[in-house]
Amino acid sequence: MKTLLFKPFEKYSENKLLIIGIIATIIGTYFAYIFNLRFNGALDVHIVKETSIKQSIIDNLINLISLITLFYIAGKYINTKTRLIDIISTVVVSRIPYYTLPLLNFNNILSDATNGMMKFMGPESVHHMPVSHIIILIAFTIISILMVIWYITLLYNGFKIATNAKEKSSTVLFIVALITAEILSLILIYNFN
């Protein structure tokens, strides 16, 4: 079970992982569209008033291309035997926990809670803020943090197996690649989507 949840790259073939990852990406993109969430950065997720299917697809394409490009460059630097297919399957499978987040905005529950809270933001009315809205947003924050940790753990484990990385310098390179992918995806989404 631990292998399946955190180290699927150790056991399952790249083809199996790739198919599962692509199906999850399609479903995640659709969820983002119908539940009004945007993956507007490799590590970002934001609740929006409205989103289009085109916007959801471009967001995810930019995120995937940024992550795959940066991790492939870092992987080749660490080990010349690193294969592109292992990096692609790592990235698409690692994002599966993230794709569950739009479900939390079912029936616009998060959007309503956010808008509801905004109405009570003044110094006088802040004490009248509905507790249910606060609980909903705290729960979303906690679940989001857990999903980010799961997502990055999967990325790191997959990257380690794809590159046979052992040195501490490889971990530093992984962090640099992840942060660079985040910045690159933010810039690309901001300019093109």
Partner 1 sequence: MKKLPVNCPSCESPLVASQLSCSECETVISGSYSLPVLLQLSKEDQDFIFEFILTSGSLKKMAAKMEKSYPTVRNKLDDILEKINDLKTN
Q: Interface with partner 1 by CB under 8 A: which residues?
A: 9-14, 17, 81, 83, 86, 161-162, 164
Nearer to partner 1, 74 or 189 (CB): 74
DSSP 2-58: HHHHH-HHHHS-HHHHHHHHHHHHHHHHHHHHHTTEE--STT--EE-S---HHHHHH
Nearer to partner 1, 151 or 159 (CB): 159
Token readout for 88 is 């692609």
Residue 113 Cβ vs partner 1, minimum distance, rounded to whole Å: 42
Residue 13 Cβ vs partner 1, minimum distance, rounded to whole Å: 6
Nearer to partner 1, 9 or 140 (CB): 9
Residue 190 Cβ vs partner 1, minimum distance, rounded to whole Å: 35
Contact 56, 37 (CB under 8 A): no
Residue 164 Cβ vs partner 1, minimum distance, rounded to whole Å: 4
Q: How far apart are the first and last CA of the chain?
A: 38
